[in-house]
Amino acid sequence: MSVILTLLAALLATGACAYHRSSLRTWTIITTAATLLVGLVAHAPWTMLILLIVEALIEVPLLLVDFRRRTISAPLLKLFAGVTPKLSDTEQTALEAGTVGFEGELFSGKPDWTELLKQPKPELSTEERAFLDGPAEELCAMIDDWQITHELADLPPHVWEFIKKNKFFGMIIPKRYNGLEFSALAHSAVLQKLSTMSATVASTVAVPNSLGPAELLLHYGSEEQKNHYLPRLAVGEEIPCFALTGTYAGSDATSIPDFGIVCKQVVDGVETVGIRFTFEKRYITLAPVATVVGLAFRMYDPEHLLGETEDLGITLALLPRSTPGLEIGRRHLPLNVPFQNGPVRGKGIFAPLSVLIGGPKMAGHGWRMLVEVLSVGRAISLPSSATGAVRAAVASVGAYARMRKQFGLAIARFEGVEEALARIGGLAYATAALSRSTAAAVDRGEKPAVTSAIAKYHATEWGRAVAGDAMDVLGGKGVQLGPKNYAGRAWQGVPIAITVEGANIMTRSLMIFGQGAIRCHPYVLREMQALSIADRGEQLKTFDRLLFGHLGFGLSNAVRSFAMGLTGSRLGETAGDAYTRRYYRKLDRYSAALALCADVFMGVLGGKLKFKEKLSARLGDVLSYLYIASAMLKNYEDNGRPEADRPLLAWAFHECVWRMQMALDGAVRNFPVRPIGWLLRVLVFPFGRREVPPSDRLGRRVAALITAPGEARDRLIKGIYLTPTPNNTIGRMTALLPDVIAAEPVERKFLKALKAGQFKTHDYLEQLAEAQQAGVVGASEYELLKRVREAVFEFISVDDFESRELCAAVARDATVEARAA
């Protein structure tokens, strides 16, 4: 027994030091002291002596730094250099672009939650609020999405003019160039409001403020280019598009076959050095109406007119539409969401060097420029539009489920519908927090390469899930297209958001963990960078420090993961209040588990891991859900820890944690080296998988929140267009909802009398009049039921058409005639 106690003391001391990430010197002192103390108390001198000798054999070489470098680090440096995969130019550029924010803490295995909670609460300025309450509201009031999508396949002229006049295209352009110079948070808020009314309008506004000429010019353009283009772009005098995707290169943008050859040509009698372009692009948003075309191409200088390099690499240019030979093709039609989109072509087009963004000095830097700008644009455009759509689903479907009756009950009372409503509410809460978090990161000056990919993927995927649930609840109401249908076009357009700005399959399987594992890891990128240090002595010194820091980091994460798994994440100091502290502890546990698995996967599989896309995708899921859960907790804190929001937070948090668990389980279960997989399972899941999805009871509470007016529902739908104008069905439904709920107890009295056979007629209004005469309902109650019945009829009705009306040309002509009249 004394032997076991002594061994246990040494192991516990080592584990405690690893858990708390003590230094090597501290570990030596504590383990030695623990071994001596317990060995003497337990009367186990021989065991104590053997353990002290073993500890000395381990500790002394590690503490003798010069000896350690020569005998341990030097051979491992040579091995590391041999097995480290060479990064492609694409990967290298992607890693060097952008910054790391709080996601780095999540990869640490021991997040410092004070770093998250001390971030300032994102707030709109007075000017930004005025724009949302003014021009953004006015624009929403002008939108007729049925006219846009079915009759015109375009925005009406007066909507185009309003967008330009009020500088919706200039939200990111500084005021010195006549733009609005809005924050990313305001940019996001505008897109959320517009997406409530029309995905076509939201897309039209989003693109010039995202990956496009304005953003590229701001960061890389010459002063002459900025002064010429930016004021014109801000007021819509110039309409931009950016041509990246081609027939033979989509996501693999560095393989684009489009090229430009540096050459000389006589222009207006003057020999001019320029570029002869050949390209064929497709899926280019705003191309059909663009006046200036941004172009990504590969630049070659075979005559060495610019220098010694022949293949200069990916380069970006701005071509005016008037450039001779530039062809804007016919329009694409993206799933009946008719934002302007089409192909752009050119063959042998000549343009001067001045068309290069930033001038000749930026030749060959195009991929880096794109990656840096795309990380910002990806963080705002699609996550914001998806957030607006899911908020609108909460408002509309929540109200509809309370208005629509079946079997004498609101359909919100049926458990099957309740389950869908809970998903809509919970995922909307998570999506809104995610979108807000990434916008805030941009406003703090970050270029969030990893978290923008997380936001794009999960916001659009959850948008797809919510759209599906909305259609299920609406049933036939959602299927029949027409002016009264507020969900059908959103459902049709879901695959667009899934596909653009990095297809979701690629984003999940290649980008999130592929970039996150190296960028966010506290050691991996620095270890790889150490290989490029020219001075061998300095290289070994740097690598030694990083190597043993990394080994201690890995051991700590193994101990932390196992210990928190054993205790069910119930121990340790962490952030939060009495309600949320348990949530922070769960995130601590899964942060350690992710860091442990990432180290083991990278260490064992090496360069092969990037070809194991399903494993990478699952680890990326864990990082994503950690980030989303932390964004929700920050949002909860920023809102003053509202008790009313707790069901929403709880549902979304448990969903994230359950998905984290399943992703880790899938990664470990499919790890190709089975013995290591078994060991990881013991460390990560010592008692098996214990997390569960949100309970039915919790789902019922969420469904109740989104189907009745209240502060939690108001926060969840805040920022979308809710003014009850004639064109805004969702706004009018929301305004009616209090009356619908007030009418329910009155309706129950009425139905009870109806079942008792008290009425002689069969018409509803006549029965209602009988009920009033019989004293079943009072005069005010009669008026309430009558008013609600008439109002609800509009919201549960569907459209019908003459056959000829369904011809878009006929509908368009009728619209034109009506406007003329």
Among candidate residues 356, 236, 338, 228, the one with its CA nearest the CA of residue 288 = 338
Per the CB < 8 A criterion, the answer to whether 720 and 431 are in contact is no
CA angle, 698 as apex, 693 and 704 as ends, to 5°? Answer: 135
Give the integer Cα–Cα distance in Å for 63 and 65.
6
Give the integer Cα–Cα distance in Å for 94 and 525.
13
Distance between terminal CA atoms of the chain? 100
Per the CB < 8 A criterion, the answer to whether 337 and 481 are in contact is no
Tokens coding 59: 């500790």
Question: Which residues lie below 8 Å from residue 24, measured CB to CB, with a gap of 6+?
Answer: 59, 62, 63, 548, 552
In order, the DSSP letters of 154-178 are S--HHHHHHHHHTTGGGTTS-GGGT
Per the CB < 8 A criterion, the answer to whether 615 and 670 are in contact is yes
Q: Name beta bridge partners: 277.
A: 260, 349
Q: Name beta bridge partners: 349.
A: 277
Per the CB < 8 A criterion, the answer to whether 357 and 369 are in contact is yes
SS3 content of the chain, % helix, strand, coil (to 5): 65, 10, 25
Among candidate residues 514, 397, 419, the one with its CA nearest the CA of residue 457 = 514
**Residue 217 CA, distance from chain mean position:** 25
Calculated CA dihedral for residues 425, 429, 431, 436, nearest 10 degrees: 150
What is the longest distance spanned by two Cα atoms in the chain? 106
Calculated CA dihedral for residues 787, 788, 792, 793, nearest 10 degrees: -40
Q: Name beta bridge partners: 316.
A: 296
What does the buried/exposed string (b/e) look like for 157-178 if buried means 16 or more CB atoms within 10 Å of the residue's CB?
A: eebeebbbebbbbbbbbeeebb
What does DSSP say about strands 311-320 and 292-300: parallel, antiparallel, or unpaired?
Answer: antiparallel
The torsion angles phi and psi of 364, rounded to 5 degrees, stand at 90, -5
In order, the DSSP letters of 72-99 are IIHHHHHHHHHHSPPPPHHHHHHHHSSB
Per the CB < 8 A criterion, the answer to whether 447 and 375 are in contact is yes
Residue type, 164: K
**Residue 141 CA, distance from chain mean position:** 28
Give the integer Cα–Cα distance in Å for 607 and 515.
13
Write out the catalytic residue numbers: 501
Question: Which residues lie below 8 Å from residue 458, measured CB to CB, with a gap of 6+?
Answer: 430, 431, 434, 624, 628
Matching residue, tokens 């990916």: 314
Per the CB < 8 A criterion, the answer to whether 419 and 240 are in contact is no
Q: CA-CA distances (angstroms) from residue 238 to 231, 300, 331, 485?
A: 9, 29, 19, 34
Q: Is 553 exposed, middle or buried (CB count within 10 Å of its CB: 0-12, 13-18, 19+)?
A: buried
Per the CB < 8 A criterion, the answer to whether 432 and 448 are in contact is no
Q: CA-CA distances (angstroms) from residue 576 to 441, 585, 636, 643, 739?
A: 21, 10, 10, 14, 39
The torsion angles phi and psi of 11, rounded to 5 degrees, stand at -65, -45
Matching residue, tokens 């036939």: 476
